[in-house]
């Protein structure tokens, strides 16, 4: 381990890979000192694992109803009790994690490339294309995210796919701005001039030489954005515009049972805690990452 650490921390890396791995390792060492960030990382990992292995961990079929056992209190049989049609709350929460994380991943997959494309093209092309694309970005940035997502979902049709598209449509502008800013610093560097001199087309320069360099900062931004996306998705579900019942989406589960809060408070509150823990995990992790990468931002 220490030999590996020494190799990673070497002041004179022998290869590009050693240098980048070393930088990564130094960041990790710094992150490790932040206990809150590590707690967040651990919670996020648990969340991901639990979602992946939900079928193994669940004690009941998440959709199995049992009308004789509605709103049962937590017991050995039902660890967190049952909901309005006697479904096992614990099992539904596990499957809910799959939906939430699945939505987050889908949104990221849509948003990051879109933002990257808009930002790098605007930054590299400059001139009119830059102004037009950035104006478009500003317009979308000037919208309140949840409100616009609500209107989009209303125009499509309430459901998971619409929610994903709606959140993605409102989430890409910061990525475009970030990618543009990165592109502006890269485009005038010597190696780009060298590539251009050797006859590479603009498309090749953007795709092969600029875009890959923007990816790492986009990934950090993604981590910072996760909790916001989790909250927006849950909010859409709560307002009845996200995943539809009987899907075990956390926000939707709260919406369908919030009227029962007087008789069985744990039924709407348990998914609420799940949303809070998921969102907090990514917030803690993102906060620690920001400290490592940009110490000035408290």
Partner 1 sequence: MSGTSDAGRLPARFRASLSSLASVPITLFGLILVTFLIGRAMPIDPVIAIVGDHAPPDVIARVRAELALDKPLPVQFWIYLEHLARGDLGNSVMTSRSVTTDIATFFPATLELATTAILIAILLGLPLGVFAARYQGSRFDHAVRVVSLAGQSVPIFVLGLLCLLFFYVKLGIAPGTGQQDVLFEGMVREVTGMRVLDAALAGDWDAFWDALAHLAQPALVLAYFSLSIITRMTRAFMLEALAGEYIVAARAKGLSDARILWRHAFGNIMVPLITVIALAYAGLLEGAVLTETVFSWPGIGLYLTGSLLNADMNAVLGATLVIGSVYVGLNLLADLAYRLLDPRVR
Give dist(CA 161, CA 169) in Å, integer.
12
Q: What is the CB-side half-sphere exposure of residue 4 using CA atoms within 13 A?
A: 3
**What DSSP line would sit under 197-222, residue for residue?**
HTT--HHHIIIIIIHHHHHHHHHHHH
Q: Is residue 88 classed as helix, strand or coil in its secondary structure?
A: strand
- Closest approach of Cβ 265 to partner 1, in Å? 6
Least distance (Å) from partner 1 to the CB of residue 150?
A: 6
Of 81, 242, 248, 251, which lies in the binding site for partner 1, with binding defined by CB under 8 A? 251
Site for partner 1 contains 131 (CB under 8 A):
no
Selected range binding partner 1 among 20-28, 119-127, 174-182, 275-283, rule: CB under 8 A: 275-283
Q: Which of 240, 246, 260, 293 binds partner 1 (CB under 8 A)?
A: 240
Comparing C-alpha atoms, which of 16, 47, 201, 41 is closest to residue 124?
201
For residue 14, the SS3 value is coil
DSSP state, residue 74:
P
> Residue 39 interacts with partner 1 (CB under 8 A)?
no
CA distances from 286 to 44, 49, 233, 274 (A): 11, 19, 19, 18
Note whether 144 binds partner 1 by CB under 8 A.
Answer: yes
In the list 82, 120, 183, 227, the residue contacting partner 1 (rule: CB under 8 A) is: 227
Taking CB under 8 A as the binding criterion, the range among 11-19, 108-116, 142-150, 181-189 that sits at the site for partner 1 is: 142-150
Binding site for partner 1 (CB under 8 A): 36, 135-136, 138-139, 142-148, 150-152, 154-157, 227, 231, 234-235, 238-241, 251, 254, 258, 261-262, 265, 268-269, 272-273, 275-276, 279-280, 283-284, 287, 296-298
């Amino acid at each position: 381990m220490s030999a590996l650490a020494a190799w990673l921390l070497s002041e004179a890396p022998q290869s590009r890979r050693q240098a980048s791995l070393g930088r990564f390792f130094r960041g990790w060492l710094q992150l490790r000192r932040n206990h809150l960030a590590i707690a967040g990382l651990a919670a996020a990992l648990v969340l991901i694992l639990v979602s992946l292995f939900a079928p193994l961990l669940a004690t009941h079929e998440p959709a199995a109803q049992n009308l004789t056992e509605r709103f049962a209190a937590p017991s050995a049989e039902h660890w967190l009790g049952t909901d309005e049609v006697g479904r096992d709350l614990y099992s539904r929460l596990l499957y809910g994690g799959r939906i939430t994380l699945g939505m987050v991943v889908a949104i990221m997959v849509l948003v990051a490339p879109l933002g990257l494309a808009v930002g790098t093209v605007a930054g590299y092309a400059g001139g009119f294309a830059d102004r037009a694309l950035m104006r478009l970005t500003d317009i979308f940035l000037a919208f309140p995210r949840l409100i616009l997502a609500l209107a989009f979902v209303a125009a499509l049709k309430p459901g998971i796919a619409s929610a994903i598209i709606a959140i993605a449509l409102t989430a890409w502008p910061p990525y475009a701005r970030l990618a543009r800013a990165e592109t502006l610093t890269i485009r005038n560097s010597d190696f780009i001039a060298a590539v251009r001199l050797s006859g590479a087309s603009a498309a090749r320069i953007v795709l092969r030489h600029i875009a890959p360099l923007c990816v790492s900062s986009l990934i950090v931004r993604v981590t910072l954005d996760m909790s916001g996306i989790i909250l927006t998705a849950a909010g859409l579900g709560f307002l009845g515009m996200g995943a539809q019942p009987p899907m075990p989406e956390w926000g939707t589960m709260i919406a369908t049972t919030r009227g029962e809060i007087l008789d069985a408070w744990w039924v709407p509150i348990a998914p609420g805690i799940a949303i809070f823990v998921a969102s907090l995990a990514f917030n803690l992790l993102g906060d620690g990452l920001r400290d490592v990468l940009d110490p000035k931002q408290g």
